[in-house]
Amino acid sequence: MSPSHVNSGIYQIKNKLNNNIYIDVVNKIEEIQNNIK
């Protein structure tokens, strides 16, 4: 496994984590907005 291969793997994992966190945050915001109504 070349270093660039490892880096791209790490990059993909970070992207996945960021996407999941983003989705969680959006869901929470929507949940809160629904509770306020």
Predicted pLDDT of residue 1: 59
Predicted confidence (pLDDT) per residue in 4-37, tens digit: 888 899 899 999 999 999 999 999 999 999 999 7
Distance of alpha carbon 26 from alpha carbon 3, whole angstroms: 34
User: Residue 3: pLDDT above 90?
Assistant: no
Dihedral angle at the C-alpha atoms of 28, 33, 34, 37, nearest 10 degrees? 160
Q: What is the three-class DSSP state of 7?
A: helix
